[in-house]
Amino acid sequence: MRRGGNRRRDDSADVDMTPMLDIVFILLIFFIVTAVFVQERSISLVPPPPSDEEPDKSNPVILIQITDRNVIFVNDQLTDLRRVGPAIERFRADKGDSAILIVPDGEANHGVVIEVFDAARSTGAPALIQRQAEGT
């Protein structure tokens, strides 16, 4: 026989969510009030007005190319890694204070690229490494 007689169990137990919502809203208000909103400083990105003067082409860029087989060309002249610095200095003596653009192939050894970059920077010239465009 069953104990408890004909009592039914109440399967649905209701939980009052109002106090939890009150706490959530109080925490939300607290975090909004205490939050520090950082105003980011920005710079003006307005380009300078165009100039009517011709650009100075007296100092052309020294182009250093590195192939996928780590062959180095300084202004289309085959150059050994140890001779990159003197080759740059020779071109700079002839053409003035030219900047240096290094264009390595995507498959070139990174160590060779860095050694060429270091040699270029040791001449005192501004140097930049540019990724070679796809398909060239």
- Is 136:95 a contact under the CB 8 Å cutoff? no
100-104 and 127-129 as β-strands: parallel, antiparallel, unpaired? parallel
| CATH T-level assignment (fold) for domain 62-129 | Nucleotidyltransferase; domain 5 (3.30.420)
Structural domain boundaries in the chain: 62-129
* Confidence tier at 2 by pLDDT (50, 70, 90): low
Residue type, 76: D
Instruction: Give 101-122 pLDDT, tens digit per residue.
Output: 999 998 899 999 999 999 999 9
**Hey, how many other C-beta atoms are within 10 angstroms of the C-beta on 20?**
10
Cβ 98 vs Cβ 91: under 8 Å: yes
Q: In the chain, at which residue ranges do the beta strands (DSSP E only) sit? A: 62-66, 72-74, 77-79, 100-104, 127-129
Q: What is the mean pLDDT of residues 48-73?
A: 81
Check: CB of residue 98 under 8 Å from CB of residue 70. Answer: no
∠60-116-128 over CA atoms, to 5°? 45
* This prediction's pTM: 0.55
Q: What does the pLDDT look like over 6-28, one tens digit per residue?
A: 555 656 778 888 889 999 999 99
Highest mean pLDDT among 41-45, 52-56, 97-101: 97-101
Reduced to 3 states, what is the DSSP secondary structure of residue 52? coil
Percent of the residues in the chain that have a pLDDT greater than 70, as a whole number: 84
